[in-house]
Chain A
Amino acid sequence: MPVSRGIAIAVVCAVGASRSLRGQATDALYARCNAVSGWETRGFAFDPGIGTKSVWEWTLPLVVVAPIGRSVSLDLTTNYASARLDSYAGSSETLSGLTDTEVRILYTMSRDRLVGSISFNLPTGQHTLSASQFSVAGAVGSNYLSFPVSNFGTAFGVTGGVAYAQTAGGWNLGLSGSARYLSTYSPFAGDTVSYAPGMEVRVRGGADRLLGNKSRLLLGATVSTFSTDVYTGSNALVAGSYAPGTRLIGDVTWLRVFGRSTVTVAAWDLYRLAGVGSTGPNPETKENVLDADVRLTYGLRPGVEVEPSVAFRQWTPADYVGGRLGSGALTVRAGLTPRLALTVVGRYDAGWIFDQTSGRANLSGYGASAFLRLER
């Protein structure tokens, strides 16, 4: 399977590239064939208090983007990931394997103005897990800790969307919407429970403009609403339904150029309203994640940048603060050749996590990644 997938990716890339070379003036959103891969690891170690000792994950991502003809581009994303969870009780669980594969087709209806998209989630990952594997998958699925691969697999899905951009005065505006369908799947090995996620409908509005001649401000707001999830089961679970709460994401970015440097201040907030289950509202499903970061990007010489950054994150499940995390990172980007670029990142996190049942535990995190980007 991996071999055949690799061949498919190579064919897509080769066909796309050859066509793009023939059609120099492409309108496709991605005009060149690009491939990104590398290695990334992220891990967190917890002080005693919540039972979990550490969670680590490493991934091998593969992203391929290729123009197909004049107006279409295609991108494909998949990962090989391995995650490990160690507990203070002495247990250790590992989950490894391919994740789902996303294939997205973008059709430029009007260059820089209107793009339509259809994306397929191919269930090449692991959506049916044993109880021990589920604990690992649940750990890396944390919105608070944001692992590079937060989901090892779901089911076949289709997402259709459209985006429109327009200038208005000094603003650049972008408006987009999408609808996602995900088919039914069985999350647990050895259990008949079946889970049918509801549809997600997403709307985003974005705007950006210059402030003076060296600054830019970007704003964005995304709203997702979900139709009701349905689950059925005969053993541990019984039939039921759940109406997820609406999810709102707001983001703001300000950047300013200082000579060869660019300072970027970015923040986003994810807020999810409480959902309603079969037995009534579930306030535990309310959640807020606030993330803010400051980056200084400095061009050492053409094609080589260093980017120190600091970040802050606060997680508020329900109505209490569930954790705060401070992070520092250093990124180096270098163009090795005109077609090959390398990005290396190192990061450190420190903070704490709190659970009303288990209490509070300090945590520290480490991360490193090295990505290569090849352009044809």
Chain B
Amino acid sequence: MPKPPRALFARFIALPVAIWALGCTGAAPSTQALPADAPALEAEVARHPDDAAASLRLLKAYYAAGRFAEARQTAATTLRLQPQNDEADVYLGLSYEGLARFDSARAVYSALLASQPRKALHHLLVGRLAIVTREELVADARHAVASESLLASTPADPHTVAVMPFHYVGSDSTFQPLERGLAALVVTDLSRVHELRVVERARLQALLDELKLAESGRLDPATGARSGRLLSAGQVVEGQFATEPASQVRIDATVVRAADAQVAASGSNADQLQALFDVEKTVVLQLLSQLGIALTPAESVAISERPTRDIEAFLLYSRGLEATDRGDFTAAAAAFSAAARRDPSFGAATQQAAASEAAEAASATAPADLATAAGGSATLAPPGPSLGLGALTAAINAAVPSGATLLAAVASSGALALPVSDPNRICEGATCDGPARAVLVGSVTIIFKLP
């Protein structure tokens, strides 16, 4: 008599019910794509290659796993399917950061900014750009040091000038931050001269940090010349300042040729501390004169402009530069904001305060949250069983076995976690192990029980 399957159904129905009950007591479902989701999502995307939401989830999983190359490719796929997906754009930028392709990251963020995003996202993107810029400067510095032998044989541009931090030779540490502040002032003044191209202060600082020279303070002509060659700058401004005797300031500066470390120009001036900007500009004009650069009236007027009349505000601004160079955007934002409060007309302080606050916010924001700010979860389909390594596919393949499971094993990447051999496709038939052959064993002697 055929065995009624109903009894066996009843016997084993407890199993799925138990699994269901177990599941209901489980943790809340994750709405984020995690590294462990990648294999399942690869299978999902393979099944639904035109599904932008699935592609976006795979992109997130790759990014979370640190698989930035795959993340970048998947971001491109997602954006091809859904060109206006800002969240994918953000992940594309983040993936470029992971690949140390900072220029590409900057291009992505800049394009997003140009699309006039919401205020919150705008703020975060500005901050991300600040972070990327700093990362890029550090990477460039490392690359320059690594390529020093090549750069040494390449003639530097004589019209490109780099400005080293000014070395403080006094004993009052209050004025130490002016090392960077004075360098920033000189950079600003020299950049008014059309004949010159000036290396960004932060770029030179990153190089000095890489060379571990900044803290030593031993910036002699040879060091300056080496730095200039590494930055392809033909001339380097070096200098020092003192604040003694009390309430006085003295600034000495030289221009060193990177090619031969010879001094091409020098300048020096001293006055009351309150006249700091006058002293600095006098020195700058001396240097330009000795270099044979004739200023146009407009350039002279531009150089004569003071960023602020408040020495205390400038000191705070200089502290902000120090903190920025350390990557401490919180301290930088506080210092720049304090400077801007003391002198609301201090434009550079106001700009730097905004950028530092944005960078602080961006650095405190997880990449996933930044991306969410870009697109929110609205572009995602609700998390479904497909996240669970193809729960539906596994179920149907186990119940109605098919050779199609071979597809997953031959996927170019991220095959499903299939067993090497699939027990659901075991041999069934007269020749196979199991019931059918058992029927015939003993009755037909030619059957081999063993291979």
Give chain A residues whose Cβ lies under 8 Å from the Cβ of B404. Answer: 30, 63, 65, 75, 77, 104
Contact among B36, B50, B403 for A25, CB-based, below 8 A: B50
Chain B 48-65: CB-based contact to A (< 8 A → 1; otherwise 0): 111100000000000011
Q: Which of B1-38 contact A (CB under 8 A)?
A: 1-3, 5, 8-9, 12, 15-16, 19-20, 22-30, 32, 34-38
Give chain A residues whose Cβ lies under 8 Å from the Cβ of B412. Answer: 303, 333-335, 341, 373
Q: B104-112, B186-194, B219-227, B391-399: which one contacts chain A?
A: B391-399
Distance, CA A129 to CA B47, complexed state (A):
39
Are B421 and A204 in contact, CB atoms less than 8 angstroms apart? Answer: no
Distance, CA A305 to CA B65, complexed state (A):
16
Instruction: Say if the beta carbon of B169 comes within 8 Å of chain A.
Output: no
Interface residues of chain B, those whose CB is within 8 Å of chain A, are 1-3, 5, 8-9, 12, 15-16, 19-20, 22-30, 32, 34-40, 46-51, 64-67, 69-70, 73, 383-389, 391-396, 398-400, 402-404, 406-407, 409-415, 417-421, 423-424, 426-441, 443-444, 446-451
Q: With A150-B427, A293-B420 given, is the CB distance from A341 to B26 under 8 Å?
A: no
Are A285 and B27 in contact, CB atoms less than 8 angstroms apart? Answer: no
Interface of B is mostly: loop
Q: With A187-B440, A353-B450 given, is the CB distance from A170 to B423 under 8 Å?
A: no
Give chain A residues whose Cβ lies under 8 Å from the Cβ of B12. Answer: 203, 223
Chain A 43-67: CB-based contact to B (< 8 A → 1; otherwise 0): 0101000111001000001010100
Are B388 and A44 in contact, CB atoms less than 8 angstroms apart? Answer: no
Q: Which of A183-240 contact B (CB under 8 A)?
A: 185, 187-188, 193, 195, 197-198, 200-216, 218-223, 225-229, 231, 236-237, 240
Contact among A38, A75, A168, A329 for B20, CB-based, below 8 A: A168
Distance, CA A137 to CA B427, complexed state (A):
11
Give chain A residues whose Cβ lies under 8 Å from the Cβ of B448. Answer: 51-52, 135, 138-139
Give chain B residues whose Cβ lies under 8 Å from the Cβ of A44. Answer: 451
* B9 CB, min distance to chain A CBs, angstroms: 7
Are A29 and B396 in contact, CB atoms less than 8 angstroms apart? Answer: yes
Distance, CA A182 to CA B395, complexed state (A):
22
Distance, CA A139 to CA B32, complexed state (A):
49
If A31-B47, A165-B386 are given as contacts, then 12 extra A-B residue pairs at C-beta distance below 8 Å, sorted by A number, are A31-B48, A102-B402, A167-B385, A168-B26, A170-B27, A202-B398, A209-B23, A209-B27, A270-B423, A277-B439, A287-B434, A304-B413
Query: Which residue of the partner chain A has the closest CB to B435?
Result: A244
* A100 CB, min distance to chain B CBs, angstroms: 9
Are A237 and B440 in contact, CB atoms less than 8 angstroms apart? Answer: yes
Q: With A151-B429, A174-B391 given, is the CB distance from A341 to B396 under 8 Å?
A: no
Chain A 103-134: CB-based contact to B (< 8 A → 1; otherwise 0): 01010000011110111000000010101101
Instruction: Say if the beta carbon of A320 comes within 8 Å of chain B.
Output: no
Query: Which residue of the partner chain B has the closest CB to A207?
Result: B19
Are B67 and A299 in contact, CB atoms less than 8 angstroms apart? Answer: yes
Instruction: Say if the beta carbon of A4 comes within 8 Å of chain B.
Output: no
Are B49 and A32 in contact, CB atoms less than 8 angstroms apart? Answer: yes
* B260 CB, min distance to chain A CBs, angstroms: 46
Are A135 and B391 in contact, CB atoms less than 8 angstroms apart? Answer: no
Query: Which residue of the partner chain A has the closest CB to B81?
Result: A24
Give chain A residues whose Cβ lies under 8 Å from the Cβ of B400. Answer: 104, 117-119, 159-161, 176, 178
Give chain A residues whose Cβ lies under 8 Å from the Cβ of B411. Answer: 333, 341, 373
Distance, CA A65 to CA B46, complexed state (A):
12
Contact among A112, A231, A275 for B385, CB-based, below 8 A: A112
Distance, CA A112 to CA B382, complexed state (A):
11
Instruction: Say if the beta carbon of A15 comes within 8 Å of chain B.
Output: no
Give chain B residues whose Cβ lies under 8 Å from the Cβ of A244. Answer: 434-436, 438
* A281 CB, min distance to chain B CBs, angstroms: 11
Are A282 and B443 in contact, CB atoms less than 8 angstroms apart? Answer: no
Are A229 and B439 in contact, CB atoms less than 8 angstroms apart? Answer: yes
Which 3 residue pairs of A and B lie closest in terms of their CB atoms, listed nearest first? A172-B388, A77-B403, A244-B435
Contact among A201, A267, A293 for B5, CB-based, below 8 A: A201
Distance, CA A284 to CA B450, complexed state (A):
13
Query: Which residue of the partner chain A has the closest CB to B7?
Result: A225
Distance, CA A186 to CA B439, complexed state (A):
14
Give chain A residues whose Cβ lies under 8 Å from the Cβ of B19. Answer: 171, 173, 205, 207, 219
Are B395 and A204 in contact, CB atoms less than 8 angstroms apart? Answer: yes
* B337 CB, min distance to chain A CBs, angstroms: 37
Q: With A167-B384, A169-B24, A216-B36 given, is the CB distance from A231 to B439 under 8 Å?
A: yes
Chain A 142-157: CB-based contact to B (< 8 A → 1; otherwise 0): 1111100011111000
Are B20 and A138 in contact, CB atoms less than 8 angstroms apart? Answer: no
Instruction: Say if the beta carbon of A39 comes within 8 Å of chain B.
Output: no
Give chain A residues whose Cβ lies under 8 Å from the Cβ of B434. Answer: 143, 244, 247, 272, 285, 287
Are A225 and B3 in contact, CB atoms less than 8 angstroms apart? Answer: yes
Q: With A161-B400, A164-B395, A222-B398 given, is the CB distance from A260 to B446 under 8 Å?
A: no
Q: Which of A285-332 contact B (CB under 8 A)?
A: 285, 287, 289, 291, 293, 295, 297, 299, 301-305, 309, 311, 327, 329
Instruction: Say if the beta carbon of A259 comes within 8 Å of chain B.
Output: yes
Are B48 and A205 in contact, CB atoms less than 8 angstroms apart? Answer: no
Instruction: Say if the beta carbon of A362 comes within 8 Å of chain B.
Output: no
Give chain B residues whose Cβ lies under 8 Å from the Cβ of A46. Answer: 451
* A34 CB, min distance to chain B CBs, angstroms: 6
Could you list 8 A-B pairs, sorted by A, with CB under 8 Å?
A65-B407, A112-B386, A151-B428, A169-B27, A213-B35, A213-B36, A216-B37, A251-B419
* B367 CB, min distance to chain A CBs, angstroms: 14
